[in-house]
Structure 1
Amino acid sequence: MSIVTRLDYASPLPGDDRVLLVMLPGAGIRAAEFAAQGMVEAAHAQNVPVDVAVVEPDLALYLEDGVTAALHEHVVEPARERSYRRIWLLGISLGGMGALLYASAHPTQVEGLVLLAPFLGTRGTMAALAKAGGLGPEIRSLATTAPEQRLLGWLSGHLAQEASAPALYLGYARQDRFAPGHRLLAQRLPPARTAVRDGGHDWPAWTALWRELLTRAPFRPRPSGDSDCYKS
């Protein structure tokens, strides 16, 4: 397994208690686009030193269900060896699925997830979940693939337990083709953890949503047990 591309952008702010923010692109998005679209600059504008690593896994890792192992071996474990204590994942579209799959396998390794228009599963699965009432305990039986079962099963349990870590932030556009699934997740998140706007599955929506979520100070250290009250 290999990571095809990794671009690192260190925060100009000094400090030892640094955040490593790993940005994961969706299919067809290149790593360099995050900086070109202002995503990295926005992260660096926070009053916390946020170092950014844009990591572009080979698409085959998603198809072969190997993205979690690749992220752990090539990104998270090396970051721990470099003394990063605070690691966040930001995923767009398929990258959001990658972030959730990683969290489902290694929930204690990441402090938070920022999901921008995440791919949560097939349209058929999302429709079945909506008919069943949302992200409830029966979610595993409705998921149609093994990755969906792990991702959605962990997500349902995480929200039900009101776990404080990893924190979840969601941003999506109302006209996004994956919006039906996004709305199911938004129903379970606190308003402070969700941003929604008009738009589609594209950079103008994602960059605006990212900037809006940053106004919620996601990287501010939180007291233990602070979940902002996930909804049941």
Structure 2
Amino acid sequence: MRKNRLVDYSLCLLLVVLLTACALPTNAPLDVLRYRADLNGTPKQRLFVFMRGMGGSHHSFEKEGLVDDVRARGLPFDMVAPNAHFGYYSGRSLVDRLKADVIDPAREQGYREIWLIGFSMGGLGSLLYRMEYPEDIAGVCLIAPFLGYGAITKEIAAAGGVRLWEPGTYDPDDDWQRMLWHWLKTDIADDPACNVQLGFGTQDTYRRGQELLSAVLPTDAVYTFDGGHDYPTFLALWRMFLDSNCYYTPAAAEAAP
């Protein structure tokens, strides 16, 4: 009985999201919160772009302590948090708005190293941007990313994983999940230079897709934590990413002030 209630609740929540997505204001330009690494210092040349999930808001990164985590470590990264909510995904304007309102202005302001930090739905958005404009960013950090629904991940797992799976013929405008995994297979899998970092909880709701992706990434680019799809797990994974220092690419070292 409890399981049925949870399923019913999930279906109702999905229906509400789909019915109200068109009502979410997709502003142009995006509403963006900005944070300096050093409140008393000059702007840095490196930037973390926080990509929000379905829940919470773009204010959550400051409220939950992620901004302070960067400052406490003395990392030379300024930070921004665009309000890239679900309406931009359903309206297929996310990548265009992110480029026009966040990434291009940052590059014009002198930021040389830009990392997308995507949580849950924001992980998907980060990958979509990386797919379209790989030259714009230094890397992507995926925290508990949503990578598609059960049918596609079950199909890939049944084929023996990403390497053995074949996407078949499809229309990318109608099947974003197949398009995403096809790209992950051809452009990301087994490429140590792709600079995609992945963290997820071992009890995460979407762990099947996360585990499939982790199998084709370098082992030192994958972080796991004994947790679910929740804030405590997100925070633990974020701090593991920060402590790894993986975001100091060779190019970043050359550009260091």
What TM-score results when the alignment is normalised by the length of structure 2? 0.79
Structure-2 residue corresponding to 1:149: 178
Structure-1 residue corresponding to 2:7: none
Is residue 177 from structure 1 mapped to residue 202 from structure 2 by the alignment?
Answer: no
Is residue 215 from structure 1 mapped to residue 243 from structure 2 by the alignment?
Answer: yes
Deviations 1:67-115 (A, max 9, x none): 1111111111111111111111011111000000000000111100010
Deviations 1:182-214 (A, max 9, x none): 111111122221111111111000000110121
Question: Structure 1's 134 and 11: CA in aligned 2 closer, same or farther, altered over 3 A?
Answer: same
CA distance in 1, matches of 2:59, 2:36: 15
Structure-2 residue corresponding to 1:36: 63
User: Which protein is bigger by CA-based radius of gyration?
Assistant: 2
Task: Tell me the secondary structure at the aligned position of residue 31 of structure 2.
Answer: strand
Structure-1 residue corresponding to 2:143: 116
Structure 1: gaps of 5 or more residues: 225-232
CA distance in 1, matches of 2:61, 2:121: 15
Instruction: Give the AA of the match of 1:8.
Output: R
Structure-2 residue corresponding to 1:228: none
Question: Structure 1's 179 and 142: CA in aligned 2 closer, same or farther, altered over 3 A?
Answer: farther
User: By percentage of residues, which structure has more strand?
Assistant: 1
Instruction: Give the AA of the match of 1:5.
Output: D
Structure-2 residue corresponding to 1:227: none
Task: Determine if contact 2:30/2:98 at 8 Å carries over to the other structure.
Answer: no
Structure-1 residue corresponding to 2:112: 85
Is residue 159 from structure 1 mapped to residue 188 from structure 2 by the alignment?
Answer: yes
Say which of 176, 185, 203 aligns to 2:231: 203
Deviation at 1:147, TM superposition (A): 2.4
Structure 2: gaps of 5 or more residues: 1-25, 253-257
CA distance in 1, matches of 2:46, 2:166: 33
User: By percentage of residues, which structure has more helix?
Assistant: 2
Instruction: Give the AA of the match of 2:31.
Output: T
What TM-score results when the alignment is normalised by the length of structure 1? 0.87
Structure-1 residue corresponding to 2:19: none
CA distance in 1, matches of 2:111, 2:179: 27
Is residue 8 from structure 1 mapped to residue 34 from structure 2 by the alignment?
Answer: yes
Task: Determine if contact 2:44/2:77 at 8 Å carries over to the other structure.
Answer: no
Segment drifting more, 44-53 vs 59-68: 44-53
Deviations 1:153-207 (A, max 9, x none): 2222223462524x11111001111011111111112222111111111100000
Deviations 1:110-150 (A, max 9, x none): 10001011011111111111111222364533989532233
Task: Determine if contact 1:177/1:200 at 8 Å carries over to the other structure.
Answer: yes
How many percent of aligned residue pairs carry the same amino acid?
31
Is residue 97 from structure 1 mapped to residue 140 from structure 2 by the alignment?
Answer: no
Task: Tell me the secondary structure at the aligned position of residue 80 of structure 1.
Answer: helix
Task: Determine if contact 2:142/2:199 at 8 Å carries over to the other structure.
Answer: yes
Task: Determine if contact 2:190/2:216 at 8 Å carries over to the other structure.
Answer: no
